[in-house]
A and B are shown apart, each in its own frame.
Chain A
C-alpha cells in the first residue's frame, strides 16, 4: 500500500499549509489580542482539516469541536471584555528581553531541526486499514477505554480537581446578608445625611445627561450627582456652557416687559 499523498491532498496541503503558518504568525505579531486569538483559531481549524484529510476523522472533528469551539471561544470571551481599542504596549519592560528571546528561539529551533533531522521513521502503518476494519471511532474507543483507560481516568480526575480548586479559590462567600433598599434608606435617615438620596445629575433645559453634574443653590456643581465610574473615566463635562447660555437668555428678559 502506497502512503504517498494523492493529488487532492497535496493541493489541500499547499493551500491550507501557508494559511496555517499565516494564522500562527498572526498569533505572535498581531497587536490586538482578539486578532491574535483569531489567528490561533484559524490555525486550529486548519490542523483539524489536515487530520481529516489523513483519515483521522474523529481526531480532526474533535480538534475543531473542542479547541476552536470551546477553548478558543472562552479565550475570546475574556479578551472581548478588554475593549476594542486596547492594544498591547510595545514598550520593553524587561531589558534585553528581545535579544535573549531571539537567541533562545534560534537555539531551540536548531536543536529541534538537528534532532528531527536524524530520526529514521519506520514505514507508516496508515489509518486507512484500521478505518475499514474496525472503524475509526471504535478503534479509538478501544484504545481510550481499553489500553489507556487509567491514563484517561487519572487525567480527568486531575482536570476536575483543578477546576474545582479554581472555583474554591476564586469564589468568595458573602459573610452575612447584603443591604437591601430598605436598609440603605434606614441608614440614610439614621445618619442624617442625604436623607432624600444623592442629587440627580444635571437637568437643564438644553442638556439633560448623566455626565453633567447638578448645580447647588449657590451655582457650584456638585460631584455627588455624577456616577463615580464616569469620574474615574474622566468623562464628566462642566455645566458652565449651559449656565452661560441660560444667563444670556435671562439677560434678554427685562422686568415688567411684555411681548
Chain B
C-alpha cells in the first residue's frame, strides 16, 4: 500500500520535471533558415540514396566475390546516376486495366512521405548558421517520434494503392502482403520504442538525445533495440522480409506494372525509408549526434558540440546501412506465414512483457519500490531493480530447464517409437521407403556378395 502511495505522490513530481517539450531551442531560427535546413535535408537524403545504391551493389559484390559496378566513374561511383538517367528516359507504361488516378498518385505518396519523417531527426548540436544560433534539426515537437510512426503509416498507402490500382493479380497480392506486414510490424515497432520513452520521459527527439548523454539507451533498452532492428527491416520491405516484392513468388509485387520514373519513385522511397528508420534507431538507441563514449570525454565534450554531431550521426546511420546490405547478402527470404507468426506470436507479446519490466525498473529508479541502492563502477543501482533482475534470471532458468526437459522427453518418445527399416534392394529392385520407414543403407560387401551370387547363377546357366 505504501508503495502505491509513493507512486501516487510520484506522478506530480514526474510532471514537474517538465520533459515533454523539446529541449532544442528554435527561438533564434528565422523562417529562411528553416527553409535552408529543409533544403539541406532534401539534398542530404538524395545524395545518400545515390551513394547507398552504389554502396549496396559494391558490398554485395564483395560478399559474393565479384567486383560489382566498376565501369562508370572512379570505382563505379557514377553507376547510380546512370541508372537514374535511364529510368527517366524509359517509356512510362500504364496497363489498360489500371485505375489511372490512383496509379499516378501511389508512387507520389511513397516518394514524398519518406522525406517528411527526417524533419525531426537531430543531426547535430547547436551551430552558428549565418549569424543565428540554431540546432541542426528542422523541427521538434512533444510527439516527434509518434510523428515518424504516423508518417510511416501514411507512406504504406503508396505501396498498397500501387498494388491495387495496377489491375493485375501479382501486384494485388504484393499490396495485400505489404499492408498486412507493415501494419503488424508497426505495432511491434511502436511497442519497442515505449521502453525508450519510459527511460527518457519524453517523446521529443531532442529530449531523448539529452537523456542519453550519460548512457546510450542501447544498454538499458537492449531488448527494445533487438526488436526495433528486426521490425525496421520488416517495415522497409528489405530482405529477408521483402515479401511484398518477393520476385521468386509474385514477380515484383506491388510495382510489377510500374516502369520508368514511376518505378524510380518507389525505388527512391524504399531507400529513403531505410535512412529514416536507421536515423530513428540512431536517435533512440545510439545517442544520435552524440560522440561515441571515450571520444565524448575528450576536452570537456568538445566533440559533442556543433557540427561534429553531423559526423557521428552520419557514421551511425551508415553502420545501419551496412547492416541492411549485410542482411541482404546473407539471408534468404522467410516464408510469409512464418514471418507473420513471428511478428504476432513472438515479437508483440515479448515486447509487451519487456515494457512491463522496464516500467518496474523505471519505478525502482524513481525510488517508488523502496529506497536503498548498491554502488557499482560509480553508478547507483536500486536494490529493487537488482531484485527484479534476480527474479527474471531465476524465471528464465526455470523456463529453460522446463523447455529442455520437455524436449528431452519428446526426443526419448520419438526414439522409443517402433522404426521399421527396409532394405531398398530386398526384392532385387530399388524401392523407396514408405512414411515411417527408414532406409537401411546397403553395404558394399552385401552388394558384392549378391553380385557374386548373380555371377554364380550365370555360371550355372552358362
CA A131 to CA B180, docked complex, whole Å: 36
Question: Which of these, B20, B141, B160, B203, contacts A80 with CB under 8 Å?
Answer: B160
Question: Which of these, A41, A48, A70, contacts B157 with CB under 8 Å?
Answer: A41
CA A135 to CA B143, docked complex, whole Å: 11
Which residues A146-172 have CB closer than 8 A to chain B?
146
CA A80 to CA B165, docked complex, whole Å: 9
Chain B residue nearest to A133 in the complex (CB): B18
Question: Which of these, B21, B156, B163, contacts A73 with CB under 8 Å?
Answer: B156
**Is B245 positioned at the interface, with any CB of A under 8 Å from its CB?**
no
**Is B269 positioned at the interface, with any CB of A under 8 Å from its CB?**
no
A233 smallest CB distance to B (angstroms):
13
A175 smallest CB distance to B (angstroms):
23
Binds B, one of A61-69, A184-192, A219-227, A240-248: A61-69
Question: Which of these, B101, B154, B163, contacts A45 with CB under 8 Å?
Answer: B154
B164→A137 contact, CB < 8 A: no
A80→B142 contact, CB < 8 A: no
B99→A32 contact, CB < 8 A: yes
**Is B230 positioned at the interface, with any CB of A under 8 Å from its CB?**
no
CA A77 to CA B179, docked complex, whole Å: 7
Closest 6 CB pairs of A and B: A69-B153, A135-B20, A65-B150, A64-B150, A84-B167, A61-B146
Chain A residues contacting B157 (CB-CB under 8 Å) are: 41, 68, 73, 76
Chain A residue nearest to B187 in the complex (CB): A70
Given contact pairs A57-B143, A76-B157, a sample of 14 additional A-B residue pairs in the complex whose CB atoms are under 8 Å apart: A38-B161, A45-B154, A62-B146, A68-B153, A68-B154, A76-B164, A76-B179, A77-B176, A77-B179, A84-B99, A85-B167, A131-B21, A135-B15, A137-B142
6 contacts between A and B (CB under 8 A): A58-B142, A65-B150, A76-B160, A80-B163, A84-B167, A146-B11
**Is B97 positioned at the interface, with any CB of A under 8 Å from its CB?**
yes
A213 smallest CB distance to B (angstroms):
23
CA A60 to CA B173, docked complex, whole Å: 32
B18 smallest CB distance to A (angstroms):
6
B141→A65 contact, CB < 8 A: no
B235 smallest CB distance to A (angstroms):
12
Chain A residue nearest to B99 in the complex (CB): A84
Question: Which of these, B20, B97, B183, contacts A84 with CB under 8 Å?
Answer: B97
- Given A69-B153, A69-B156, A142-B15, are A80 and B99 also a contact pair (CB < 8 Å)? no
CA A34 to CA B166, docked complex, whole Å: 13
Question: Which of these, A69, A134, A137, contacts B154 with CB under 8 Å?
Answer: A69
A70→B18 contact, CB < 8 A: no
B18→A65 contact, CB < 8 A: no
**Is B149 positioned at the interface, with any CB of A under 8 Å from its CB?**
yes
A135→B21 contact, CB < 8 A: yes
- Given A80-B164, A84-B99, are A138 and B203 also a contact pair (CB < 8 Å)? no
CA A61 to CA B153, docked complex, whole Å: 11
Question: Which of these, A61, A135, A137, A138, contacts B150 with CB under 8 Å?
Answer: A61
A43 smallest CB distance to B (angstroms):
13
A45 smallest CB distance to B (angstroms):
7
Chain B residue nearest to A58 in the complex (CB): B143
Chain B residues contacting A68 (CB-CB under 8 Å) are: 150, 153-154, 157
Chain A residue nearest to B14 in the complex (CB): A138
Chain B residues contacting A182 (CB-CB under 8 Å) are: 435
Which residues B83-113 have CB closer than 8 A to chain A?
97, 99, 101-102
Measuring CB to CB, which residues of chain A are less than 8 angstroms from any residue of chain B?
32, 34-35, 38, 41, 45, 48, 52, 57-58, 61-62, 64-65, 68-70, 73-74, 76-77, 80-81, 84-85, 131-132, 134-138, 142, 146, 182
CA A187 to CA B152, docked complex, whole Å: 52
B143→A137 contact, CB < 8 A: yes
CA A58 to CA B145, docked complex, whole Å: 11
Q: Mark B13-28, 1 if CB is under 8 A from A, else 0.
A: 0110011110000000
A61→B143 contact, CB < 8 A: yes
**Is B147 positioned at the interface, with any CB of A under 8 Å from its CB?**
yes
B194 smallest CB distance to A (angstroms):
13
B253 smallest CB distance to A (angstroms):
14
Chain B residues contacting A32 (CB-CB under 8 Å) are: 99
Chain A residues contacting B143 (CB-CB under 8 Å) are: 57-58, 61, 136-137
A138→B153 contact, CB < 8 A: no
A65→B142 contact, CB < 8 A: no
A84→B164 contact, CB < 8 A: yes
- Given A64-B153, A131-B21, are A137 and B172 also a contact pair (CB < 8 Å)? no
CA A132 to CA B167, docked complex, whole Å: 51
Chain B residues contacting A85 (CB-CB under 8 Å) are: 97, 167
CA A81 to CA B15, docked complex, whole Å: 48
Chain B residues contacting A52 (CB-CB under 8 Å) are: 141
**Is B270 positioned at the interface, with any CB of A under 8 Å from its CB?**
no
A194 smallest CB distance to B (angstroms):
23
B21→A34 contact, CB < 8 A: no
Chain B residues contacting A65 (CB-CB under 8 Å) are: 146, 149-150, 153
CA A68 to CA B179, docked complex, whole Å: 13
Chain B residues contacting A132 (CB-CB under 8 Å) are: 21
A122 smallest CB distance to B (angstroms):
26
- Given A65-B149, A69-B153, are A38 and B102 also a contact pair (CB < 8 Å)? yes
A149 smallest CB distance to B (angstroms):
12
**Is B125 positioned at the interface, with any CB of A under 8 Å from its CB?**
no
A34→B164 contact, CB < 8 A: yes
**Is B126 positioned at the interface, with any CB of A under 8 Å from its CB?**
no
CA A182 to CA B436, docked complex, whole Å: 13
CA A153 to CA B350, docked complex, whole Å: 23
Chain A residues contacting B147 (CB-CB under 8 Å) are: 61
Chain A residue nearest to B154 in the complex (CB): A68
CA A35 to CA B165, docked complex, whole Å: 10
Chain B residue nearest to A136 in the complex (CB): B142
**Is B242 positioned at the interface, with any CB of A under 8 Å from its CB?**
no
A57→B142 contact, CB < 8 A: yes
Chain B residues contacting A137 (CB-CB under 8 Å) are: 20, 142-143, 203
Chain B residue nearest to A48 in the complex (CB): B150
Chain B residues contacting A62 (CB-CB under 8 Å) are: 146, 150
CA A45 to CA B151, docked complex, whole Å: 10
**Is B175 positioned at the interface, with any CB of A under 8 Å from its CB?**
yes
Chain A residues contacting B164 (CB-CB under 8 Å) are: 34, 76, 80, 84
